[in-house]
Structure 1
Amino acid sequence: MSEDPTRRRLGRGLAALIGEMDQPIGRESEPTKPVAADRKIPIEFISRNPRNPRRTFDEAELQDLATSIRQHGIVQPVVVRPMPGDRYEIIAGERRWRAAQLAGFSEIPVILRDVDDRTALEIAIVENVQRSDLNPLEEALGYDQLMEEHGYTQNDLGDIVGKSRSHVANSLRLLKLPEPVREMLSAGALSAGHARALIPTSDPTTLARAVIAKGLSVRDTEKLAQNDIRLQNAPDQGAKSRPEKDADTIALERSLTDSLGLDVSVSHKATGGHLKISYKTLDQLEEICRLLERRS
């Protein structure tokens, strides 16, 4: 898709985002100077963006922020956009808005930006990803939302959030997990590394519960997953015997899968073998072709 000025700006990362988005309308000031608000708006006129990828807010952290706000006020204004009916929707700063309510504030300082749905979603994802405010599942859902609703490719998303394409691809792979494992990931019981290791297994939910119960590391989880994959590849009784994949081959498959963000299968024997890369969309196929052509 064609590049526009908004995407070029967002692609430079959070520093550029804050420097440009948090500057009050009609004022010329350096990004390093304190940010002044455009105005103060009653809290009841402001609502959260229902499309914001961030869904979870730690209550203890909100209470701590509310205490700070009572003492020092809101140092960083909330960025909002105008909506019909003299209302405003948050673009960036929902955590501050929530904490201000806990602190008993009736109005908060805001910076106004008139942007469309796509740009508002981009900004929300950039701000949260760069500040590590999203859990891995929220991050993956945010990427998926931009791809599904606005036609972004993995390369586009990598440019926008300042991450590698493989990082985006591996985030999206988390959406393959069953709902119970997603909930464990969202709650922080599993890390993204744990969850990725479980994706190709026969029963990710059961294995995830075992990982949590035993307190397994990511490396131990990978070994558990490899054992499960070996059992999946074991020949049925009465069927023609076929060699089991060795640990090196399984490790190679995992390394290539993590690097590409796509499922990779390697079949190797003394006389040769084959490598299979699975894709689901034409964008993914084009990316594979681009990587192969670049390396040639």
Structure 2
Amino acid sequence: MMKKHGLGRGLGALIPENSTEVDNNEGLISIQLIKPNKDQPRKNFDDEKVDQLSKSIKEHGIIQPLITYKDGENYIIIAGERRWRAAKKCKLKEIPVVVVDKKSDKQVLELSLIENIQREDLNSIEVALGYKSLIEDFSLTHDELSDRIGKSRTSITNTLRLLQLDSRVQEYLIDKVITEGHGRALLSLDDKEFQYKLSQKIIDDGLSVRDTERLVKTLAKKGKNNDKNKEKEDYSIFLKEYSTVLEEKLGTKVAFKSKCKNKGKIEIEYYSIDDLERLMKILS
């Protein structure tokens, strides 16, 4: 039976323990025969981190085998492309691999996505995009994805919400200039331009997540008060327009008295009994 090497809950769950579907073939393979997967979800590899990993491999070797599938004479990487790149840098001739049976291109993509989003060095937007791909490409619910990758449904939902941020704020998250906590706080602001401006303030002033949450709460409260004042102002204009119409029709001063929206009273002035009778004829 094949041994598993810390594949993670999601990836490990997709590779059966006692199965003839898995090549009983774990061992060293020529690095020349190992090829990257063209559908690898991660497109960018940090050269500095690859160099660091290369130095570690020189000293300690590759502790965790690559996950691959056989394609003719070659072995296509499902999980572990960064280890492969680092191994090439330090000129290893052979590296350890686990070979699994490839059921379909779709399964390979799923394995690659799950392996990638379980990595600790991914930024929150990369993780969110990985979740989004798994949900859309494999018609998974948030609960099903939670079971696959060992993350809570709430955590998955909160991470996916980061994709609703202004694209420039997402870039700050990708570059790890601000944290996921900052991003979640900014989601309370509907105005994306304001999200961006506040993200710049976070960076310039070195605001903590707690500071940002307090600031957003204050701004949101101020915005609600402004909305109420604007609504009150609009209603006053509305009443003023109606009083003008009535004054022209009745030929006297008319005033609307309203303490709250949708109800109030109308005051119509008259200056004599004759004037009152004139108004009554108009209104009757």
Query: Does structure 1 residue 154 correspond to structure 2 residue 146?
Result: no
Structure possessing the higher radius of gyration over alpha carbons: 2
The one-letter amino acid of 2:50's match is L
Contact 1:41 1:110 in 2 (8 A): no
| 1:192 corresponds to which of 142, 160, 180 | 180
Distance 1:15 1:120, change over 3 A: closer
Query: Does structure 1 residue 41 correspond to structure 2 residue 30?
Result: yes
Per the alignment, residue 48 of structure 2 pairs with 60
- 1:228 to partner: Cα distance: 2.8
Per the alignment, residue 123 of structure 1 pairs with 111
Q: TM-score, normalised by structure 1?
A: 0.64
Structure 2 residue matching 1:188: 3-state secondary structure: coil
- State the distance in 1 between where 2:230 and 2:29 align: 76
The one-letter amino acid of 1:240's match is K
- State the distance in 2 between where 1:17 and 1:149 align: 16
Query: Does structure 1 residue 140 correspond to structure 2 residue 128?
Result: yes
Q: 4+ runs of 1 displaced by more than 6 Å? A: none
Q: TM-score, normalised by structure 2?
A: 0.67
- 1:62 to partner: Cα distance: 2.0
The one-letter amino acid of 1:123's match is L
Structure 2 residue matching 1:235: 3-state secondary structure: helix
- State the distance in 1 between where 2:103 and 2:126 align: 22
Contact 1:141 1:172 in 2 (8 A): yes
How is 1:1-296 mapped onto 2 (pairs within 5 angstroms)?
Answer: 12-13=9-10, 20=17, 25-26=23-24, 36-37=26-27, 39-43=28-32, 45-52=34-41, 54-83=42-71, 86-113=73-100, 114-201=102-189, 202=191, 203-233=194-224, 234-235=226-227, 239-240=231-232
Contact 1:154 1:169 in 2 (8 A): yes
- State the distance in 2 between where 1:211 and 1:218 align: 9
Contact 1:11 1:160 in 2 (8 A): no
- 1:94 to partner: Cα distance: 1.4
Aligned residues: 221
Structure 2 residue matching 1:225: 3-state secondary structure: helix
Structure 2 residue matching 1:206: 3-state secondary structure: helix
> How large is the Cα RMSD of the aligned pairs?
3.1
- State the distance in 2 between where 1:209 and 1:238 align: 28
- 1:205 to partner: Cα distance: 1.1
The one-letter amino acid of 1:210's match is K
Give the share of equivalent positions with the same residue, in percent. 39
Residue segments in structure 1 that go unaligned for 5+ positions in a row? 1-9, 28-35, 243-296
Contact 1:81 1:88 in 2 (8 A): yes
Q: Deviations over 1:81-113 (max 9, x none)?
A: 234x64443111112111012112344332222
Structure 2 residue matching 1:132: 3-state secondary structure: coil
Residue segments in structure 2 that go unaligned for 5+ positions in a row? 1-6, 235-284
Q: Deviations over 1:138-163 (max 9, x none)?
A: 11101100111111111111111111
Distance 1:151 1:19, change over 3 A: closer
